[in-house]
Structure 1
């Protein structure tokens, strides 16, 4: 797929009037424009070229605009979508916005200024979500966090919103979901970005050491305090402190942290004077703080001070659409680090990754990819390079479909289980994309010809194409 650096518009319509109007708008703004008359041709264009904005007529005949929109939002690199709709089609517009459309244009198109303004807004949103747009990188997301799923787009929107303020942020989510990455993204896009970003893991230190690290101490404060030492709050002055695993902070430290937030000052251990500090505090936890409060393990007043803005990160199993692009980004990272350039991932391995539950989330996926690259014999990662727990999950699901599988020897059972799984995956992805081979192959991260070979290999009867 080519990478385009100038804004490019794809118009999907059968109306020559709309094409003429929008061509004029694009020409005035130095935007390139391509047009197709139906959804099938649009899918083909989107599978082979990058577009910034797609403008879709709500009535296309073969596949309506909403169906095309649903396909677009499953893509790895997805453009912003604007719907062209008659004034009477309110229900269609509402559905389109709910499904992820950026906005809509009402037909007939009349105001050049209004249309220009809306398209420009869509382009700006695309650039914000895809910083790689400017430098030619291939992995979309935000500030190094890879993902295009609706749940991650919502997270990126929140990051952009809170970056402009100094508000305290509480980031929640399971272990391995990327909470520190989110904190860094907020800091790096804030007015404090040129100031310190200080990280401390509250669960990794005993109480006495945690206090001295956070607040510092003066000479002679305790045995071994030979010199004055700045605490992390002082070091982070005018910057940000990120408190990871905040739920594990001891009760006595919770009181002192609350004072820092309320008063904006710290006192070193052994000192009688306080120092004013200006820091933004972000905290993270994988625990339910409401339950911790009920159990008496966490102060309610501290919770409310930290939880001004809450960002909850989805687990990887809840954003499985991101697994192909995450896998590709990790392949690029670790093939370089391990000196094995050009290593790819086979269909059976990728489909297995997409159907595993990932209790360790992105961190676990990262470990699996690194391990698979090390164990791969040639230039392709196959299912045999994956951990047994992932293959066991496939086997378990396959046994539920075919109980006799458990009667076979291991080698034969594994082969049949993978066949059952791969066939189920192919049928599932075809059903999801309306049995459109081009759309399905793109979703699977494969080229069309290889995907057709796999359809034939697993004897999948096509309903339609």
Structure 2
């Protein structure tokens, strides 16, 4: 009466791990031990729940799965489950019983059982298949916990997440430049997180207690932008009924961030150059200049050196802005940060949207690591937010990713910089990709896909079911 996939035969690829088996029937205990040993598991057997409890809780947390009968003299399997669920909450417990009822199954699942098996077992490999699934689940939970620990260690600069060499170089430059008043030009493609870098520079500086003011220079017309930046006096233009301070004055003592500075018109470039040279501003319509104590940070996705050569950007302004340049790398150059970023966005949006998503399956994560990400970190965040909204379980899978990523050309190669999965999981990811590709090429026809793969139809169908390959439609004919 398992709620998961039907059992795979004992020839299915095993995983390594330590399994504790508990049953008061010596013959069944011996049979299960022999089956799991043959599949290369390290197996410990106990005739009572109390012995198993003491063994599991008395040593290190190195047991991967517990398989226990329910009805035994003394402590029951459900009581053992309750204790382990409290003391080892990430330890999967598989319940078996020869007296199955709906209520017993419901009670076991409510107490946190990973799976519920009925004796005698439906197929020879029922226990083995359940144990393999449980170990994959435990490894996924452990990887999720590792990612959270890494996230805690890397969140040193606001929400800039990562541990790759490319982003560590940015962190090092941030720490050197932040304590100064030097003007900084932040360059990088759209979506790489240039404003996060600017905020980090402000937060790590002596000006962190004062205001951080950001404005997108490419989003406003010249007249509106100049009024926003420099302010105006009453009567400066139609509609200017009162004096108004600009953002340079609003951010006095703090930091102003000029995003997309490469979009400034020539006239506004001249006014900005005066601010950088003289440290003073002149509101629109005024004859008087006012001193400002301000740190200027600027960002652009354009190549300003090329813009200077083409006459679109002033040379003197470029050199005033680019005293120090920080180049934020695109996501394709920091692939090994994708797992950390993915977990960060899962946590962020699950909390914000009150969703139960906790982690992502290795196969789906591998697909994310292989995507080129033209929209960079912003695109990745949008993908994860969408997946969190649409996800139907607490773990994101391939089916939760957008079609463009889910159906991208498959490859068995490892993207440069991508995290290296454990060998067993890498094999599993490859097999999933192989089966899905075969189904795609056969337009969902299982018989045709089996012929392409060189296996008989029943074995191919079993593999598709076992590995939960969710192609669009599967047809036998």
> How would you bin the TM-score normalised by the shorter chain?
0.5 to 0.7
Give TM-score, length-normalised by structure 2: 0.56
Contact kept, 8 Å, 1:77 with 1:140, in 2: the verdict is: no
- SS of residue paired to 1:221: coil
Contact kept, 8 Å, 1:220 with 1:227, in 2: the verdict is: yes
CA distance in 2, matches of 1:412, 1:199: 55
Query: In the alignment, does 2:425 pair up with 1:392?
Result: no
Query: In the alignment, does 2:285 pair up with 1:270?
Result: yes
Q: 1:412 to 1:316 in 2, by over 3 A?
A: farther
- 1:101-157 deviations in Å (ceiling 9; x for gaps): xxxxxxxxxxxxxxxxxxxxxxxxxxxxx9x99xx9465453321100011111000
Deviation at 1:342, TM superposition (A): 4.1
Give TM-score, length-normalised by structure 1: 0.58
Q: 1:314 to 1:184 in 2, by over 3 A?
A: same
CA distance in 1, matches of 2:210, 2:200: 14
Query: In the alignment, does 2:400 pair up with 1:346?
Result: no
- 1:268-324 deviations in Å (ceiling 9; x for gaps): 111111000111100000111111111111011100000000000111110000011
- SS of residue paired to 1:411: coil
Contact kept, 8 Å, 1:199 with 1:244, in 2: the verdict is: yes
Contact kept, 8 Å, 1:173 with 1:315, in 2: the verdict is: yes
CA distance in 2, matches of 1:314, 1:76: 25
Partner of 1:259: 274
CA distance in 2, matches of 1:298, 1:155: 26
Partner of 1:445: none
Deviation at 1:341, TM superposition (A): 2.6
Query: In the alignment, does 2:212 pair up with 1:197?
Result: yes
Q: 1:225 to 1:320 in 2, by over 3 A?
A: same
- SS of residue paired to 1:284: strand
Partner of 2:125: none
| 1:314-393 equivalences in 2 (<5 Å) | 314-393=329-408
Query: In the alignment, does 2:426 pair up with 1:411?
Result: no
Among residues 257, 281, 289, which one is paired with 1:242 in the alignment?
A: 257
- SS of residue paired to 1:241: strand
Partner of 1:281: 296
Q: 1:342 to 1:391 in 2, by over 3 A?
A: closer
Structure ID, larger Rg? 2
Query: In the alignment, does 2:218 pair up with 1:218?
Result: no
Contact kept, 8 Å, 1:147 with 1:326, in 2: the verdict is: yes
Partner of 2:247: 232
- 1:176-226 deviations in Å (ceiling 9; x for gaps): 110000000000010111111110100000000001000100011111111
Query: In the alignment, does 2:186 pair up with 1:171?
Result: yes
Contact kept, 8 Å, 1:77 with 1:148, in 2: the verdict is: no
- 1:215-274 deviations in Å (ceiling 9; x for gaps): 100011111111000011111111111000010011110000000000111011111110
Q: 1:286 to 1:411 in 2, by over 3 A?
A: farther
Partner of 2:321: 306
Contact kept, 8 Å, 2:213 with 2:255, in 1: the verdict is: yes
Number of equivalent positions: 291
Contact kept, 8 Å, 2:154 with 2:163, in 1: the verdict is: no
Contact kept, 8 Å, 2:439 with 2:445, in 1: the verdict is: no
| 1:16-35 equivalences in 2 (<5 Å) | none
Q: 1:76 to 1:144 in 2, by over 3 A?
A: farther
CA distance in 1, matches of 2:396, 2:154: 20
Q: CA RMSD in A?
A: 3.3
Partner of 2:310: 295
Which moved further from structure 2: 170-179 or 334-343?
Answer: 334-343
Deviation at 1:338, TM superposition (A): 1.2
Which moved further from structure 2: 235-244 or 140-149?
Answer: 140-149
CA distance in 2, matches of 1:332, 1:245: 30
Deviation at 1:331, TM superposition (A): 0.6
Contact kept, 8 Å, 1:177 with 1:316, in 2: the verdict is: yes
Unaligned 5+ segments in structure 1 are 1-43, 45-74, 79-129, 421-455, 459-465
Query: In the alignment, does 2:191 pair up with 1:187?
Result: no
CA distance in 2, matches of 1:161, 1:76: 33
Unaligned 5+ segments in structure 2 are 1-61, 63-142, 414-433, 454-465, 469-477
